[in-house]
Amino acid sequence: MEKFYESFGAHVFNDKEMKKRLTDETYQLLRKTIKNGKELDPSIAKDVANAMKEWAMEMGATHYSHWFQPLTGETAEKHDGFIESQKGGRVVAEFSGKNLIKGEPDASSFPSGGLRDTFEARGYTAWDPTSYVFVKGKTLYIPTIFCSYNGEALDHKTPLLRSMDALNKQAMRILKYFDNKGIDHVKTTAGPEQEYFLIDKDLYEKRKDLMFTGRTLFGAMAPKGQEFDDHYFGVIKTKVAKFMEDLNSELWQLGVLAKTEHNEVAPAQHELATIFLTCNVSTDHNHIVMETMKKVAQKHGLVCLLHEKPFAGVNGSGKHNNWSIKTDTDINLLEPGDTPSENARFLLFLSAVIKAVDEYQDLLRISVATAGNDNRLGASEAPPAIVSIFLGDELTAILEAIEKDVPYQGKSKTPMKVGVTSIPTFPKDNTDRNRTSPFAFTGNKFEFRMPGSSQSIATPNTVLNTAVAEELKKFADVLDASKDVPATIHKLVKETIKEHKRIIFNGNGYDPSWIKEAEKRGLSNYPNTPLALKHYTDKKNVDLYVSNGVLSKAEIESRYEVYLGTYTKTVALEARTMLNMAKKDIMPAVIEYSGMISKDLKLKKDIALGFATDYEVALLKDVSSLSSGLYLATLDLEKALAKAEMKDAYELALYHHDVVLAAMAKLRDVADKLEVIVGTEYWPMPDYAKLLFSVK
């Protein structure tokens, strides 16, 4: 019997296939391209394309598609057949080197924030050769970047690749002050943990809110929630286990390293972690994971919800982004070492991260700012909207000893000296590590916990890479000018901890007192997307992106427009969906229910049973007064939407937050009160109890 892992990567044109199907010379040139992340040598494109096509056709593919990540947040694909006609009505299968390297989809309908005028609708896609092509269904997928005709980025991946370049450049400058034998380049790695909900497909289809917006806009809490903590790591139900089995096998075929799976805190909530890879490949794989989850769920009569907050009252879903920096010789630069020199390197890179997170806390916050994630960040289940770093007591004590020129915990006679004193070993994977921190050091990597479950990890990683590149650049400038390198390294670490320790917080991030404390420390706190986005175009942020070659000013401004527009559209869609449900479903149901009570009342009156009807009168009064409330709340929400006419994208987004969302909350509040008293059979949609507990 074939072992389960033998089909791993069977649908990927991976190294094994390349080696098998290309001449040695072409293979070596392609390897070099992949290793260095350079563009494909055009002289070999034809042979590579041909080998890919042959392989893909053996796998049953008839089409190929450039696969990219426009600013919609979803992925996009356009399929072209391999088929080409020839003279005399004959057809052949063709896939040229040109078609592999570059595609030209009509890009006019993708968001560009004004970067591309519609008369110049063309955009182009270009293969990212560091991410393997793969066959899914009958199509060969080619992971690409997506740019306007002038080369401006229209996607999430281009800036990510640029940020990896920027970090590589600066990290290599730093590494020359350490043992850098054989190191050719440095890359960042990411390992995302994907949370999701699984619910019954038939129930899903009875909820317009889930279908149109991905989250429930109405719904009173079920009698049971997550209060028993019985779902977390609980026994996986049969139907869910079958789904996971199927999901794993599809992902493994596509070369995705799906590894850890378990039930999460909320009922019906689960998690899948893939093994970390280079940032860009990991980003592609996470998109494959999300798409495959949705597809496989359908096959099992389920729907996979990737929204950040599908249900009020139980935990929402995030996507922890584990991140580190690695050399091509496999040295993890965020891993403490055994020698004083390795530790000096570790402490210097660590300092760059601490400084970067403090200086660009706003950009990190912005990188996870979406309408969906606003429902989660800051609620007491997810990290707060304030960015801070958890280092753990041991590492914090080490840095404090360096800052104050004292021995570590008084354990030796001499003060801590970077590059001279060994740093004491501390438990690498603190099991009791702080789960409330938005950015936690977990022994040899950082875990950024703010990203939302449905978002691409490209942007958070772009910010991390760019901000750290910037701080490494500043360090390298100082080192390049220094006459005493070891003393300078010590000084850089010491100064960083002194100037940026405000960002380090090892306490409970869910505690309300932290908000006050953070304010005292001068940390930024942007509780919602519009307020966060406002700072995207601040001069210091524009300077960061521009000087590191990650985004141009025009690209930043276009993204600002796109992000604000997406926020506004999301909230407006939710508001319209609520109005539709309230007017067309909930109100008629409530009228029917109160009609039933009235009829019963009249009947009892007719037979002179007035004394038995007190509770019915009371119930009818309650239902009637809540129904009036519901009606008035729909009017208010309609009015709020009608007044949304601001020209400025920021004003409009903020209005949707301040006024439209507030009106939505009032409407939900009355509707949920009605749900609690109206008979189950009358309520026009499946309730939380059904949605959360019916998958067996």
Residue 189, contacted partner among ligand ADP, Mg ion, none, CB below 5-8 A by kind? ligand ADP
190 binds ligand ADP (CB under 6 A): yes
The least CB distance from residue 632 to ligand ADP, in Å, is: 46
Rounded distance between C-alpha atoms, residue 320 and residue 335, angstroms = 19
The least CB distance from residue 431 to ligand ADP, in Å, is: 9
Residue 276, contacted partner among ligand ADP, Mg ion, none, CB below 5-8 A by kind? ligand ADP
In the chain, what is the greatest distance between 2 CA atoms, to the nearest angstrom?
104
Residue closer to Mg ion, measured from CB, 365 or 445: 445
Rounded distance between C-alpha atoms, residue 264 and residue 280, angstroms = 27
Q: How many CB atoms lie within 10 A of CB 332?
A: 16
Give CA separation, 72 vs 110, 111, 277, 491, 570, in Å.
7, 7, 24, 45, 12
Cα atoms in the Cβ-side hemisphere of radius 13 Å centred on 377: 30
Q: What residue type is 650 in one-letter code?
A: Y
320 binds Mg ion (CB under 5 A): yes
Residue closer to ligand ADP, measured from CB, 193 or 200: 193
- Of 99, 158, 163, 324, which lies in the binding site for ligand ADP, with binding defined by CB under 6 A? 324
Q: For residues 306 and 294, is the Cβ–Cβ distance under 8 A?
A: yes
User: Exposed, middle or buried, 458 (CB in 10 Å: 0-12/13-18/19+)?
Assistant: buried
Binding mask 434-453 for ligand ADP (x = CB under 6 A): ----------xx-x------
Q: For residues 13 and 260, is the Cβ–Cβ distance under 8 A?
A: no
Query: What does the CA dihedral 496, 497, 500, 505 come to, rounded to 10 degrees?
Result: 150
Close Cβ partners of 241 (under 8 Å, ≥ 6 residues apart): none
The least CB distance from residue 322 to ligand ADP, in Å, is: 3
260 binds ligand ADP (CB under 6 A): yes
Give how many residues touch ligand ADP by CB under 6 A.
Answer: 17
Q: What does the DSSP 8-state code read for residue 656?
A: I
Residue closer to Mg ion, measured from CB, 187 or 320: 320
Q: What residue type is 546 in one-letter code?
A: V
Angle of the 458-480 helix axis to the 279-299 helix axis, nearest 10: 170
Site for Mg ion in 164-203 (CB under 5 A): 193
The least CB distance from residue 189 to Mg ion, in Å, is: 15
The least CB distance from residue 552 to ligand ADP, in Å, is: 29
The least CB distance from residue 572 to ligand ADP, in Å, is: 36
Find tokens 């995705």 and name the residue.
256
317 binds ligand ADP (CB under 6 A): no
- Of 73, 159, 191, 267, which lies in the binding site for ligand ADP, with binding defined by CB under 6 A? 191
Q: Which of 101-109, 154-162, 187-195, 584-592 is the region at the interface with ligand ADP (rule: CB under 6 A)?
A: 187-195
323 binds ligand ADP (CB under 6 A): yes
Which H helix or E strand runs over 632? helix 614-642
The least CB distance from residue 381 to Mg ion, in Å, is: 14
- Of 139, 322, 388, 558, which lies in the binding site for ligand ADP, with binding defined by CB under 6 A? 322
The least CB distance from residue 320 to Mg ion, in Å, is: 4
Q: How many CB atoms lie within 10 A of CB 128?
A: 24
Site for ligand ADP in 262-291 (CB under 6 A): 273-276
Q: Which residues bind ligand ADP (CB under 6 A)?
A: 189-191, 193, 260, 273-276, 320, 322-324, 332, 444-445, 447
